[in-house]
Structure 1
Amino acid sequence: MISAILITLLFTVVCYLYGRGSLWLAHKGLSGSTGAAPHPAWVVLLGWVVVTSLASLLSLVMPLSGAALGLVLVGALVIGVLGGKQSGFYPKWSELQLPVLVGGVLLLAGLGILENATHNSLNPDTGIYHAQAIRWIESFAAVPGLGNLHGRFAFNSSWLVANALFSFAFLGLQSFHLLPAALVFITLWLFAGGLAGWLRGEASPANILKAVLLPLVFYILGAEISSPGTDLPVILLAWMLAAGWLERRGKPGSLDVVLFAMSVFAITLKLSAAPLLVFALLIFIRGMRDKAAVGSWVVMGALVLAPWLARNIIYSGYPVYPVPGVPGLGFDWQIPRTDVLAEQRAVLAWGRLPRLDREEVLAMPLAQWLRMWYQDITLNRRLILFAAAAAPLLMGVEYAWASITRRKDRDEISALLPLTALVYLGFVYWLLTAPDFRFGYGYLIVLFALPLVYPLGILSQVNIMGMKPMPVLAALAIAGYQALFLAQSFEAKSFTQRLVMPLAYRVLPSEPCEIVNGTVLCAAEEAWTECWYDPFPCIPQPNPAVERRGNDWGDGFRKGD
């Protein structure tokens, strides 16, 4: 747990420095982005984008080990020294202070993060490829054709790059899987700021939405905090974009830079986040009013995407993978197009009906597989689905009621309607493609939460004996849930073992398996295709058609058509 605290602090400080420096640069090129820096948590999130993009760039030429982390830390130190000479570079103490009740909520949340982050990783995809992909990034510069060895290595999530940078594997202790803890804490810090604003009487839609989302982080993602899985950052980023979109309304400025960068960055985490690009598109369209700044917006997006695209090309031979319609670039390590199509079809079929034959699922008409998918989901997921699907109708009813009664706060719900429409586009895209719930929680939960915002805002105005109890009751309820979650997830038997370091990745049986000109390791039958971090290099199943491109693993792999 001590290591989780230290890595979270390091990640937060480094990202704040890079985020604050990036805002300073953005202000030079974007006149519309001037103004006071947003909440420090937003600055840290911008820094997360910048640091990850920088790490992706470094990974093209070197492994992300101690030297790469050292370069990033030196950069942060330089920014910190130069920034310290400017007024307002560092946050004021008043910006970091929270009401006692909110501080208690955040403390309980922090304890819940520490408890769950140090458990055994439970995400099966981490065993299948996340942990091995991180080890490749720690051990070698981007490996040409790595996706030939195992197709999922070519998924190339920037989240795995960031995890490799802050894994501290070079210390020889273990590869720490603690970056999810850091990101969850920063998210909760941001959402706690909304709860604090609500308690101070600022019952804005943004503050209420943040407060509603705060406990849902643990409800939806509590078991994911111990794993570097790629769903967690996408879900959190979607929720933060929704909250930020409400926060920025009517006062575009520095927050636009943060939201634009996060929106573009989303697709580098996972292709299922593609609908989130609409936020960047809308900000860019508004920014086009300032013709001189258009180039700056384009450059900003390119700096985020270029390292990711380069890694895609090196890993797979394609700028975007696995999308069969995207042409390859003709490198000898390019993954055969038949394999690209098979990988895409596997993802689609698994997202729809995972226990059935892939070709059978993909041959089904939409109505058939959607009906079978619905019959297979649990009751609580059905309730979330219905709530999300009905969100536009519920919002319309709320707006009609506010209009008929001529409430002065009608403008508040007017701000919620465009956001509902934007998120609903993502919901429909998810539902009609690969509706695995872990791919869709970013949209589902926001749609679940948005119809609650306006009624809670009305209840916040209720005055009883000179007090407005609604935000206090909400804070107490959130604190109670955080305490309950902490108690339910506490593992007493392993507590002393986890006090300093988290539990390491599991080690499962493996066996040698041949490729054309060498031998790798494959998960043994009793390991259920899971390799985890050790041994290395390990793949879930034999792939005998692959050959090495040289004598070193870093020379890469290729495969004939």
Structure 2
Amino acid sequence: MYIFWICLGMGMLIQPFVQKNSNLFFVLLFGLFGEMMLIHFFAIWLPINEIFYGANFLFASFIILIRFQTIKTQLKSCFAEWESWKIPIQILGVLLTTLILMQSATKPFIVDNETYYIQTIKWLNEFGLVKGLANLHFFFGQMSGWHLLQSGFNFGFISNSLNDLNGFMMLIFTFFSLHHLNRFFQSRITMDLFLGLIPVGNLFFFQFLSAPSPDLPVFLISQLIFYLFYKNFIDYQGEFKLLLLLVIFLIFIKITVLPLLILPLVLLIRHQLFKIEWRFMMLIALMSISLYFLKNYIISGYLIYPISIFSSLLNPDWKLSPEMAKFMMQNMKVDSLTGLDFEEIQRQSFFEYFKNWLLEPGLRSVFNKLIILLLLIFPIWIRKNKTLFWLYIYALVQFGVLYFTSPQYRFFMPLITGMSLYILAKLLLNNSKFVLPIFGFFGLIALIPLLFSINVSNIKNSNFMPDKLEPYRLRNVIVPANISLHQFEYEKVREGNFEYNSPIGETEFFWITGDGELPCVNQSMLEYFKKWYHVRPQLRTGNLEDGFYAEKINK
């Protein structure tokens, strides 16, 4: 309810500048975007703690009070919309809501949550943006806008069990999808069915609900972006601002989706919108770029972490060492191929690399093959619908950027989801009697891992993660599971001028930090970089809030 309240207030503040007649779903998305911008700005100077929460609540409440009549009208419209749905769709809505709430209360099963999600959010709650934080653990430099947003909703000063942001995102998207699914049975429009089928991917999406993974909003919002582009390409319906805001929102969450800018640019040129929209474009571009660069500059000393573009222009004392930035770039490539180091990858020919990437073990292999198959067959539908041409061009550019930088299967999922849903929608368009059975089966199949312990040893992407998914437990109705999958014991270790907490016994997978008290980093990782790169983190002053710098040590 707190997330809904805050997003409602912030969304109502932003709505008149983007789309005056937008429904409640878009108001809440505007609220998430506005809240993320606010936290970016606030965290530059202050922690995201109880003072921020209190001020934020009062501000949102003030906006809600001012726009109460508009909100009242929108809520009535939502209830009227619900009552107009077909009974089976209403039942699906109740069942999916229950599953989302259950999954959100389970333990996270994402390795990145154990390496840096938990810790980056803790730093934000206790200190805000900390100079040179990437020197402590260079994964912390990957801090997503989604993590800043989560720091404003997790009540870290009260509990370490509240991870509801992804569940909230999934919930509002589910009802948005059901709205379009219901509308499809009246309109018989392909793109209504396209959006309506999003929950078909629940078995996959649900694995991202109980951790603040930035992947989930990218998976979901990208489908909305594809829909808006498709809808406005031939017959412009005044939604350029909405499309641009959502693209900027996703870039803030995950810089790997930068090629999405192709889509609003195509609309801008095709419909000659520059004279009309240039003020909005300049405002959102200036605000977004400034905050994004400033966030990266504070935590790493780089404007576009970890890329070295423009890095020679700025050399603060907390800047991540060039050796570590290079290692980070190499690590992104290494993560895509199991069992090979960077030098081995560099020695491979183009075709050797492609073959090894295609034949990766477990889920990686399945999704790597699937993205190639979809890119090969999708032109069949382009011949019949020229509107898809630019979406396909975007897909090729996005695939190329990812393939040559960090070709991890989850980065391809927005493309896989979009093309798969469109093909499925076309296949079901004239067979509507199968829509609800298929939706119900695939949408509700996510119940199985909630009820039974499922063995995932053959498909998990890290040996660090357990072999089985932990099912939902009744006690989670009252008390959600802890935000960390593992309950490590920690030891105090001194490194130069500061002490840190290191998980005991975790030496093989040394990126792990878990839910340790700040500052927390794995001793094995620090020792590795001291030995091979001759660098270690040190406090800039005697206080944690002043951050870290990289100290060169003797070989």
Contact 2:82 2:90 (8 Å CA) reproduced: no
Cα gap change, 1:396 to 1:280, in 2 (>3 Å): closer
Give the secondary structure class of the aligned counterpart of 2:330: helix
Q: Distance in 2 between matches of 1:531 and 1:416?
A: 44
Q: 2:116 aligns with which of 93, 109, 129?
A: 129
Matches within 5 A, 1:257-406: 257-285=241-269, 289=273, 291=275, 293-328=277-312, 329-351=314-336, 353-378=337-362, 380-381=366-367, 384-396=370-382, 399=384
How much does 1:494 deviate? 5.4
Contact 1:45 1:258 (8 Å CA) reproduced: no
Q: Distance in 2 between matches of 1:475 and 1:23?
A: 33
Matches within 5 A, 1:44-83: 44-83=28-67
Q: Deviations over 1:393-439 (max 9, x none)?
A: 32145x1xxxxxxxxxxxxx343343233233223332333221111
Contact 1:119 1:226 (8 Å CA) reproduced: yes
Q: Distance in 2 between matches of 1:478 and 1:311?
A: 41
Give the secondary structure class of the aligned counterpart of 2:157: helix
Give the secondary structure class of the aligned counterpart of 1:147: helix
Q: Match for residue 499 of structure 2? A: 519
TM-score (norm 2): 0.86
Q: Match for residue 30 of structure 1? A: none
Contact 1:241 1:259 (8 Å CA) reproduced: yes
Q: Match for residue 86 of structure 2? A: 99
TM-score (norm 1): 0.85
- Structure 1 spans left out of the alignment, 5+ residues: 1-8, 27-32, 400-412, 461-469
How much does 1:284 deviate? 4.5
Q: Distance in 2 between matches of 1:69 and 1:254?
A: 35
Q: Distance in 2 between matches of 1:89 and 1:258?
A: 21
Cα gap change, 1:141 to 1:446, in 2 (>3 Å): same
Cα gap change, 1:451 to 1:473, in 2 (>3 Å): closer
4+ long deviations beyond 6 Å: none
Q: Distance in 2 between matches of 1:87 and 1:357?
A: 55
- Structure 2 spans left out of the alignment, 5+ residues: 454-470, 531-535
Q: Deviations over 1:5-45 (max 9, x none)?
A: xxxx332342233223212134xxxxxx6x632x4212211
Q: Match for residue 212 of structure 2? A: 228
Cα gap change, 1:50 to 1:483, in 2 (>3 Å): same
Contact 1:50 1:304 (8 Å CA) reproduced: no
Q: Match for residue 439 of structure 2? A: 478
- Determine whether 1:454 maps to 2:454: no
How much does 1:164 deviate? 1.0
Cα gap change, 1:316 to 1:386, in 2 (>3 Å): closer
Q: Distance in 2 between matches of 1:79 and 1:334?
A: 40
Q: Match for residue 490 of structure 2? A: 510
User: What residue identity is the alignment partner of 1:445?
Assistant: T
- Determine whether 1:113 maps to 2:105: no
Q: Distance in 2 between matches of 1:63 and 1:89?
A: 36
Q: 2:196 aligns with which of 211, 235, 249?
A: 211
Matches within 5 A, 1:401-420: 413-420=385-392
Cα gap change, 1:87 to 1:552, in 2 (>3 Å): closer
Contact 1:52 1:162 (8 Å CA) reproduced: yes
User: What residue identity is the alignment partner of 1:537?
Assistant: P
Q: Match for residue 555 of structure 1? A: 546
Contact 2:161 2:480 (8 Å CA) reproduced: no
Cα gap change, 1:52 to 1:251, in 2 (>3 Å): farther
Contact 2:103 2:472 (8 Å CA) reproduced: no
- Determine whether 1:434 maps to 2:410: no
Contact 1:288 1:294 (8 Å CA) reproduced: no
How much does 1:96 deviate? 5.0
Q: 1:19 aligns with which of 11, 18, 31?
A: 11
Question: Which region of structure 1 is more displaced relative to structure 2, 233-242 or 55-64?
Answer: 233-242
Q: Deviations over 1:361-385 (max 9, x none)?
A: 2342322111111122456435523
How much does 1:206 deviate? 1.9
Q: Distance in 1 between matches of 2:16 and 2:104?
A: 34
Q: Distance in 2 between matches of 1:50 and 1:286?
A: 29
Q: Deviations over 1:228-250 (max 9, x none)?
A: 12222222222221233234455
Contact 1:512 1:522 (8 Å CA) reproduced: yes
Contact 1:514 1:542 (8 Å CA) reproduced: no
Give the secondary structure class of the aligned counterpart of 1:323: coil
Q: Distance in 2 between matches of 1:337 and 1:204?
A: 52
Give the secondary structure class of the aligned counterpart of 1:240: helix
Q: Distance in 2 between matches of 1:245 and 1:484?
A: 31
Give the secondary structure class of the aligned counterpart of 2:74: coil
Cα gap change, 1:206 to 1:500, in 2 (>3 Å): same
- Determine whether 1:10 maps to 2:2: yes
Contact 2:358 2:369 (8 Å CA) reproduced: no
Q: Match for residue 397 of structure 2? A: 425
Q: Distance in 1 between matches of 2:407 and 2:278?
A: 36
Matches within 5 A, 1:482-497: 482-490=443-451, 495-497=473-475
Matches within 5 A, 1:239-250: 239-249=223-233
Contact 1:15 1:46 (8 Å CA) reproduced: yes
Q: Distance in 2 between matches of 1:301 and 1:78?
A: 28
Q: Distance in 2 between matches of 1:382 and 1:341?
A: 26
Give the secondary structure class of the aligned counterpart of 1:533: coil
Q: Distance in 2 between matches of 1:238 and 1:246?
A: 12
- Determine whether 1:539 maps to 2:484: no
How much does 1:87 deviate? 9.0
Contact 2:371 2:415 (8 Å CA) reproduced: no
Contact 2:302 2:308 (8 Å CA) reproduced: no
Q: 1:444 aligns with which of 407, 416, 421?
A: 416
Q: Deviations over 1:503-549 (max 9, x none)?
A: 11232133333333122122333373322122332113226621101
Q: Match for residue 479 of structure 2? A: 501
How much does 1:86 deviate? 5.5
Q: Distance in 2 between matches of 1:438 and 1:552?
A: 38
Q: Match for residue 154 of structure 1? A: 141
Give the secondary structure class of the aligned counterpart of 2:309: coil
Question: Which region of structure 1 is more displaced relative to structure 2, 448-457 or 495-504?
Answer: 448-457
Q: How many residues align?
A: 516
RMSD over aligned CA atoms reads 2.5
Q: Deviations over 1:337-383 (max 9, x none)?
A: 221111111112212x1321122223423221111111224564355
- Determine whether 1:179 maps to 2:153: no
User: What residue identity is the alignment partner of 2:477?
Assistant: L
How much does 1:52 deviate? 0.9
Q: Distance in 2 between matches of 1:319 and 1:180?
A: 27
Question: Which region of structure 1 is more displaced relative to structure 2, 435-444 or 386-395?
Answer: 386-395
